[in-house]
Amino acid sequence: DIVMTQTPLSSPVTLGQPASISCRSSQSLVHSDGNTYLNWLQQRPGQPPRLLIYKSSNRFSGVPDRFSGSGAGTDFTLKISRVEAEDVGVYYCMQATQFPYTFGQGTKLEIK
Amino acid sequence: EVQLLESGGGLVQSGGSLRLSCAASGFIFSTYTMTWVRQAPGMGLEWVSSIRGSGDSTFYADSVKGRFTISRDNSKNTLYLQMNSLRAEDTALYYCATISSGWGQGTLVIVTS
């Protein structure tokens, strides 16, 4: 199974400041079809997960442009350019390149 | 817009069965691989099972293999998860998802011992 490791696990951030979450996979996420199936999810308190980024760097419909994803192979990053109060929650990376799909442990974003 | 609505969760005794459903709309259901993901109370996300668009290929987590069965009815735009021999550790919120475009609100399964 592919192991997904996120850092940090907790991220206190000042409003208006940037935030960054790293995700590393135990093996390359490049699929045989050439795509990299690495997604980023946001889960606000008491809410279901919400897709933010798919295939490493594609922002999903309706997601603010302050969210961006980057990376390739085994190293990926989610960046929030200016954190807003509504961004509080847990962020997960997940790989859908190979079954079983696997998730990172989650990174809790909180406001300082 | 992708819409996914789960139902069928509830309270069940250990060893019992439940069938979850997920009604889909807003996309061409038959062309999407569909997935069930669960989240135990206070824990992270765990992939449970997936099924290809045509229904001809299914995949399961080791923790549910042999006990859960995923299926779909493309004529009804509905995904199912038949859960048998339920255990306390199956207690979780179960989400239906397309993974690449949308997640449902979840349905809660509580297994009592």
The share of chain A scoring above pLDDT 70, in percent, equals 100
What is the per-residue pLDDT for B54? 96
With CA atoms as reference, report the closest residue to B101 among A90, A63, A31.
A63
Percentage helix, strand, coil for chain B under 3-state DSSP, each rounded to 5: 5, 50, 45
Chain A and chain B share a number of CB contacts under 8 A equal to 52
Confirm if A1 and A100 have CB atoms less than 8 A apart.
yes
Q: What is the mean pLDDT of residues B66-94?
A: 98
What is the per-residue pLDDT for B101? 87
What does each C-alpha distance from B105 to A46, A50, B16 come to in angstroms?
A: 10, 10, 24
A91 touches chain B (CB under 8 A): no
**Which of B22, B38, B47, B52 is the best residue to mutate to test the A interface, defined by the most A CB atoms within 10 Å of its own CB?**
B47
Please tell me whether the peptide bond between A8 and the residue prior to it is cis, using omega within 30 degrees of 0.
yes
Contacts of B45 in chain A (CB under 8 A): 41, 49, 92, 94, 103, 106
Does A48 contact B95 at a Cβ distance shorter than 8 Å?
yes
Contacts of A51 in chain B (CB under 8 A): 99-103
pLDDT 10s digits, A48-91: 999 999 999 999 999 999 999 999 999 999 999 999 999 999 99
With CA atoms as reference, report the closest residue to B58 among B83, B86, B33, B85.
B33
B10-13 and A67-72 strand pairing: unpaired
Q: What is the mean pLDDT of residues B73-83?
A: 98
What residue of A is the nearest CA neighbor of B41? Answer: A46
What residue of B is the nearest CA neighbor of A107? Answer: B44
Closest-CA distance of chain B to residue A96, Å = 8
What does each C-alpha distance from A22 to B60, B67, B83, B99 come to in angstroms?
A: 28, 35, 35, 20
* Per-residue pLDDT at B99 exceeds 90: no
What is the per-residue pLDDT for B91? 98
Does B45 contact A92 at a Cβ distance shorter than 8 Å?
yes
Q: What confidence tier does A12 reach under pLDDT thresholds 50, 70, 90?
A: very high
d(CA B88, CA B1): 35
* Per-residue pLDDT at B20 exceeds 90: yes
Q: What confidence tier does A106 reach under pLDDT thresholds 50, 70, 90?
A: very high
Q: What confidence tier does B62 reach under pLDDT thresholds 50, 70, 90?
A: very high
Confirm if A83 and A21 have CB atoms less than 8 A apart.
no
* Per-residue pLDDT at B25 exceeds 90: yes
Q: What is the mean pLDDT of residues A101-111?
A: 97
- B15 phi-psi bin (left φ>0, alpha ψ -120 to 50, beta other): left
What does each C-alpha distance from B7 to A78, B56, B69 come to in angstroms?
A: 32, 24, 16
Residue A42: how many other CB atoms lie within 10 Å: 22
